[in-house]
Amino acid sequence: MFGWFDNSKLDGFAHEISGEFARHWPLDKMVSDKAAEQKLLHAIEILGNRAAKFNRHSPMGWYRKARFLRVVKEDLLARGGTEELVDRIVYDVVLRMARPGSAGH
């Protein structure tokens, strides 16, 4: 029963993927051209797909999804991401986790 309240695996995964994203895309980098935009979209897609895969293997209800997204957002902001970029990333992750087949929806 107490395992229901243990979010250490969830929080650890949120920190892992936000750190991985920050390594692949410098959060203070501005999107200056079409090639940079495509690279950013690809990095966001990878992060969103990993989150959706995690959700399929460890289904999250609405509370755990909200917690997961909050941890990702706070971590990306702490790593230097702008509010606009981080909101864009989190929005894409929400959409990917809500798709049929991502479980927990």
Q: How would you write the pLDDT of the chain (105 residues) with one tens digit per residue?
A: 445 567 899 999 999 999 999 888 877 776 678 888 888 888 889 998 999 899 888 888 889 999 999 999 999 999 999 899 899 999 998 988 887 665 544
Domain boundaries, the chain: 7-98
Contact, 21 vs 47, CB < 8 A? Answer: yes
pTM over 0.75: yes
